[in-house]
Amino acid sequence: MSRLWLIVPAAGVGRRMAAECPKQYLPLAGSTVLAQTLARLHAAFPAATLCLCLARDDIYFDAAMVPFADWRRIGGGAERAESVAAALTAIAAEAAADDTVLVHDAARPCVSVDDLARLQAALADEPDGALLAVPVADTMKRAAADGRVARTEPREALWHALTPQGACYRLLCDALAAARACGVALTDEASALEAMGRAPRLVAGRRDNLKITHPDDLALAEQILAAQAAQHKALS
């Protein structure tokens, strides 16, 4: 049976939040953004091995935020792809080629347990990897250089990429290495897989899988977590 590895890049500083500390350590629903994210991942995958990528000079991290029994701290890089590559290298002696690796944003604390389970199931028989995503619902405009509308883009077949994103260990290693060798600018793991000719599966997820990026996202995340808790209580 393959092992499940969770990689959470959390070495960024979140400059767009304009906060006194990195956004993953901002308070959220009685704890921190990072603690809420890790709690949600643990609820879905309690037996997984967590690779938490942190800045080497991180002074905000507290191990009490981590609910996983099996986890390790890994020095993260300035960019997301660097942190993921560092984690893949750190587990090279333990990970099997067909082990499943999921990469999840530290600033996505609202991902649902059901979506996480469906993504894992999709990866079980998906050779090209998979990611959570949602179809574009809004009208999409392409801007001209002067900030005016150049044209309207058809939204059919367009999706917003979310996380987690994942693939088997060897494929993800090869994809990131090939992208680096070719100088491909990576914004997520799926783009690395695409660059080597793979077509990751889109797994439809919930629209409330918010990524906290701007200051007003924090209040919205708190509302989403409260609504999700109320929904769970009503169904239980």
10-48 per-position pLDDT tens digit: 998 766 676 789 999 999 999 999 999 999 999 999 999
Query: What is the rounded CA–CA span in Å between residue 38 and residue 221?
Result: 15
pLDDT in the model for residue 123? 96
Contact 76, 10 (CB under 8 A): yes
- Specify the pLDDT at position 4: 98
Q: Percentage of residues in the chain with pLDDT exceeding 70? A: 98
Task: Specify the pLDDT at position 236.
Answer: 81
Determine the Cα–Cα distance for residues 173 and 43; give it in Å rounded to an integer.
27
- Give, in order, the Cα–Cα distances in Å from 135 to each of 77, 107, 125, 130: 31, 21, 23, 15
Whose CA is closest to 166, among 232, 98, 229? 98
Q: Pairing state of beta strands 49-54 and 130-135? A: unpaired
Convert the pLDDT of each residue in 83-132 to its tens digit: 999 999 999 999 999 999 999 999 999 999 999 999 999 999 999 999 99
pLDDT of 1: 67
pLDDT mean over 203-221: 96
CA distance 82 to 53: 10
pLDDT category at 49 given cuts 50, 70, 90 is very high
Instruction: Give residue 100's pLDDT.
Output: 98
User: In the prediction, which pLDDT does 190 show?
Assistant: 97
Contacts with 165 (C-beta within 8 Å, 6 or more apart), sequence order: 102, 103, 129, 130, 131, 132, 188, 189, 190, 200
Q: Which amino acid is at 55?
A: A
Structure tokens at 190: 């799926």
Predicted local distance difference test score (pLDDT) of residue 17? 73
Are the C-beta atoms of residues 95 and 3 closer than 8 Å to each other?
Answer: yes
Q: Whole-angstrom Cα distance, residue 177 to residue 192? A: 9
Compute the mean pLDDT over every residue in the chain, rounded to the nearest whole number.
95
Catalogue all structural domains in the chain, each as residue range(s) with its CATH number: 4-129+162-235 (3.90.550.10)
Tell me what pLDDT residue 13 has: 74
